[in-house]
Amino acid sequence: MSRYFLLLAFGFATLGLVLGLYMGIRQNHGQLVTHAHIMLVGFVLTLVYALCHRLWLGKPPAWLAKTQLAVHLMASLVFLSALFMLYAQWYSEDILGPVLGLSGIGVLLALLLMFWMLFRHPAMPSE
């Protein structure tokens, strides 16, 4: 699992840095919020999940770990795409607001699932 999260984190980092460089080159910081969240929700949070699997999680049920990964992946992709579309002014806030709200709740839900797994299935001291 930690490897999936690690590869995903670096995928997001690539996207986020390309967007950051694009903003710098174009001298147009309109996508600042999208860049910041791709780096923080996409890269940093995903990397933290990789470390959780590597260092602090014991053996949570496979279905639970897979569900947490799926919820985090789906919610982050929707959340970050909706942010990009909002700041690119492709669609109005009326349309994207509920999408951002629901996907944001999805990101939070995945965080709570990880919290639960860390609480219920900690690594043994020798692991």
- Calculated CA dihedral for residues 21, 25, 31, 37, nearest 10 degrees: 20
Residue 127 CB, shortest distance to ligand HEM, in Å, is 27
Residues 78-107 that bind ligand HEM (CB under 6 A): 79, 104, 107
Q: Residue 65 or residue 75: which is nearer to ligand HEM going by CB?
A: 75
Tokens 């923080």 locate to 40
Output the residue with the shortest Cβ distance to ligand HEM: 20
* Angle made by CA atoms 44, 50, 51, in degrees to the nearest 5: 90
The verdict on 39 binding ligand HEM (CB under 6 A) reads: yes
